[in-house]
Amino acid sequence: MRNIFAIFITTFVELSFSQHNPHFFPNRTGIVHLFEWKFKDIARECETYLSPNGFGGVQVSPINENAIVFKRPWFERYQPISYRIITRSGDENDFRNMVTKCNTVGVRVYVDIVVNHMAAGNGQVNGTGGGTAFIPDKSYPNVPYNETHFHETCAINDYNNAVEVRNCELVGLPDLDQSLEYVRARIVNFMNKLIDFGVAGFRMDAAKHMWPNDLSVIYNRLNNLSNYFATGSRPFIYQEVIDLGGEAVKKTEYISLGAVTEFKFSLEISRAFRGHNELKWLKSWGVKWGLLPSKYSLVFVDNHDNQRNGAGGSEILTYKFPKMYVMAVAFMLAHPYGTPRIMSSFFFDFIDQGPPANVSTEEIISPKILSNGTCTNGWVCEHRWTEIVGMIGFRNRVRGEAIANWWDNDNNAIAFCRGNKGFVVFNNEPDDLQLTFNTCLSRGNYCDVISGRKSGNICTGQQISVNEKGKSVIRIKAQSVVAVHSGAKI
């Protein structure tokens, strides 16, 4: 009996910890959140940009039928009325084709899953797939769910009360009871369907508001990944648990189940590059800052919530502060901590604003890609910025190399090597900086991947010359970064 128990425990631990692996193809890194993109556009982006430039995967917005909300705000995607795959991003066929095309070119797909709750509203609401729900009765016939499948109606007023946080309604959204076998089965069936289509994993929206034990049951009933992956592979799970300290629900409660979205990373890195904390302190970046161990952390500078003054509020850096934002993203990608996710936004002037759409039909407008690689039609496309795609290449090149030869000016300029494969220097001072640095690189000329790209023997940006001792005189403008690696040698 003891042997059977030991086998069970070993198997459970192996299954749980394998859910921390994003299953990137070799020499790829980073997840790009193509927020509100259509499936056909994502497929094209996988083939023409993400794959050729070494990105590891793409996170897609919730794919199942959602309530149609007046003025079509972004958050309507987080108000499901069924688990049918049909939104403004496309239908089930579009989704399956996208997953196939992305996997074929080595880019993984992760789906944003909303199973904490269902849509709110007054009376009957209509869905993106023609379905309906009657909110006063908690009736969602296309699942189907009824009032017996939900927790009792109550508001979350006290975040120091874990029961209230997990059993009451997040901003008035009817709260599903995941302890019920019926509810678990509906969720598992939906997620397994996506696994069979070829997805690599899931972002679990509002995981903080669900009991870890219930999530554990659900995760352990998920299928192994499809034939796009090694036999026995488990889905990568990363769970939205906002924990900045001082509340009852702790992020550590979820790390045995999968990775956790580390919001403290976002807050602290934004504070540092806003100048609210000196960069020199980043030498100890990681668990000493109150962050989770690296293998449990899905990290980001901003996400779709906190770029709109969610967790972290006005401290969070976004595309609206491009110089500071580029430095923060570059640091995230230069440092080995965590699994990085890059935000790819649309421009917005008010926090509820939805994606670019046709005024008459409300259909989402596709990004238009210009000859210089940037986007128009209302899309920011941070992942296409020269500085950010350059740092994806940097991270791929230096994988497995430790931080070495840390330097700082005892204030807001820092530099470090990644083994003998990469070197990066940040200047968050108000003035330009020119110094001789030990780059740890071999002698030669290198292309700064922040200011340009290497094309053959040509560098479209700043060239950095390294002597036989690995030294280089580098001039770094105020509020900027320079990064070179062995793959950018000219």
Tokens linked to 115: 């199973």
Candidates 240, 268, 302, 382; catalytic one = 240
Tokens linked to 335: 């440092």
DSSP H helical segments within 19-161, as ranges? Answer: 39-45, 92-104
Query: If we measure between CA atoms, which residue out of 428, 432, 437 comes closest to residue 465?
Result: 437
CA distances from 453 to 137, 250, 299, 361 (A): 58, 42, 25, 40
Q: What are the φ and ψ backbone dihedral angles of 436, each rounded to 5 degrees?
A: -95, 125
Q: CB of 345 within 8 A of CB of 359?
A: no
Tokens linked to 378: 């209302």
Query: How many angstroms separate the first and last alpha carbons of the chain?
Result: 64
Pairing assessment for the beta strands 64-66 and 55-60 based on DSSP bridges: unpaired
Element (H, E) at 269: helix 263-273
Candidates 41, 112, 169, 205; catalytic one = 205
CA distances from 475 to 17, 145, 300 (A): 44, 62, 28
Pairing assessment for the beta strands 297-299 and 259-261 based on DSSP bridges: parallel
Pairing assessment for the beta strands 108-113 and 55-60 based on DSSP bridges: parallel
Alpha-carbon torsion 418, 424, 429, 433, what sign? positive
The answer to whether 240 is a known catalytic residue is yes
The SS3 call for residue 399 is coil
Sequence-separated (6 or more) residues with CB below 8 Å from residue 209? 116, 117, 156, 165, 166, 170, 175
The answer to whether 164 is a known catalytic residue is no
CA angle (182 as vertex; 177, 187 as ends), nearest 5:
75
Q: CB of 180 within 8 A of CB of 169?
A: no
Sequence-separated (6 or more) residues with CB below 8 Å from residue 284? none
- Long-range pairs of 155-164 with CB within 8 A, sequence gap ≥ 24: 156/209, 159/247, 159/248, 159/249, 160/247, 160/248, 161/248, 162/248, 162/249
Distance CA 178, CA 337 (A): 33
Distance CA 246, CA 322 (A): 31
Pairing assessment for the beta strands 108-113 and 201-204 based on DSSP bridges: parallel
Return the axis-axis angle of helices 181-197 and 212-220, rounded to nearest 10°. Answer: 50
Distance CA 10, CA 274 (A): 45
Distance CA 122, CA 135 (A): 6
DSSP state of 291: P
Residues labelled as active-site residues: 205, 240
